[in-house]
């Protein structure tokens, strides 16, 4: 599996729009870690050096203390199976105890995606999500000027970042240009959760005809959170991942990246931007 992939993107500068062209985005795929045949965690990552990633995770979680605590780490499933590269089976060395919840007696699991299936792929993850929330029915259009202004003004709404330079921000802006709310957090996923949570408490969901602006890379989880809230469009100063683009396309979300003044890259929903 490659760390990058080629996708089609429409670039727009000023009043001109170029024909669709090929561009590279980083690949984002889930990696499932199975410990003694049970799902320990699933994390979103760029493929490559998965064994090292797994060992680092096990060390950080205190499941192992050294390489000696591992018997083997191998891809799960038969060669050629879809998702085989996305699932690692971990076997601990004899005598190493499993991380078991003392109250339930069950294996302690971590991660945001729960699955007992052996063999995980981006297509399965997206299918499960779309089966739960469906494709958006919102066909409203957004002006490019609204997107540009929302991204440009995000920095002014980041007082914590101005002080520390160490946190992300997410802002919700209506298609008419009204800033609904902005939150900061060290994790960009957390900042998005705060935006969605504030709107849910105010009984504003679904957020049709609204734009979510994020300060960092747009990952699958960010698109997932936006879609779950009914948000219509998502824009960032940075790049999306491959799985984020795929989910946005399938879910009907407008996805824009690399917004710099009048220049932006449209990864999904180009027909809904005027």
The verdict on whether 167 is a catalytic residue reads no
As a whole number of angstroms, the distance between CA 12 and CA 269 comes to 13
Comparing CA positions, the residue from 34, 274, 47, 61 lying closest to residue 147 is 274
Alpha helix positions (H), the chain = 50-60, 122-133, 144-154, 159-164, 188-201, 220-228, 242-251
Comparing CA positions, the residue from 45, 33, 116, 118 lying closest to residue 81 is 118
Hey, CA dihedral for 129, 133, 139, 144, is it positive or negative?
negative
C-alpha dihedral (158, 163, 168, 174), degrees to nearest 10: 0
Set 118, 121, 167, 181: catalytic member: 118
Residue identified by tokens 């981006």 is 122
As a whole number of angstroms, the distance between CA 146 and CA 180 comes to 13
Active site residues: 118
């Amino acid at each position: 599996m490659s760390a990058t992939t080629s996708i089609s993107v429409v670039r727009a500068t000023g009043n001109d729009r170029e024909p669709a062209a090929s561009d590279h985005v980083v690949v984002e795929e889930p990696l499932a870690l199975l410990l003694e045949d049970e799902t320990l965690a699933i994390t979103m990552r760029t493929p490559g050096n998965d064994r090292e990633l797994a060992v680092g995770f096990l060390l950080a979680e205190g499941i192992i203390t050294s390489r000696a605590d591992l018997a083997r780490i191998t891809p799960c499933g038969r060669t050629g199976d879809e998702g085989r590269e996305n699932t690692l089976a971990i076997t601990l060395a004899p005598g190493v105890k499993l991380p078991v919840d003392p109250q339930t007696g069950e294996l302690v699991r971590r991660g945001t995606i729960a699955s007992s299936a052996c063999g995980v792929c981006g297509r399965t993850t997206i299918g499960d999500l779309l089966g739960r929330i469906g494709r958006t029915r919102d066909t409203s259009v957004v002006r490019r000027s609204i997107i540009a202004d929302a991204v440009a003004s995000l920095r002014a709404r980041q007082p914590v970042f101005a002080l520390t330079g160490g946190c992300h921000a997410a802002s919700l802006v209506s298609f008419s240009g009204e800033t609904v709310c902005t939150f900061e957090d060290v994790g960009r996923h957390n900042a998005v959760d705060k935006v969605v949570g504030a709107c849910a408490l105010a009984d504003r969901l679904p957020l049709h005809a609204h734009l979510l602006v994020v300060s960092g890379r747009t990952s699958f989880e960010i698109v997932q959170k936006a879609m779950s809230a009914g948000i219509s469009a998502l824009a960032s100063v940075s790049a999306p991942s491959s799985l984020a683009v795929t989910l946005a396309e399938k879910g009907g979300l407008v996805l824009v990246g690399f917004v710099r003044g009048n220049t932006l890259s449209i990864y999904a929903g180009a027909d809904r931007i005027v």
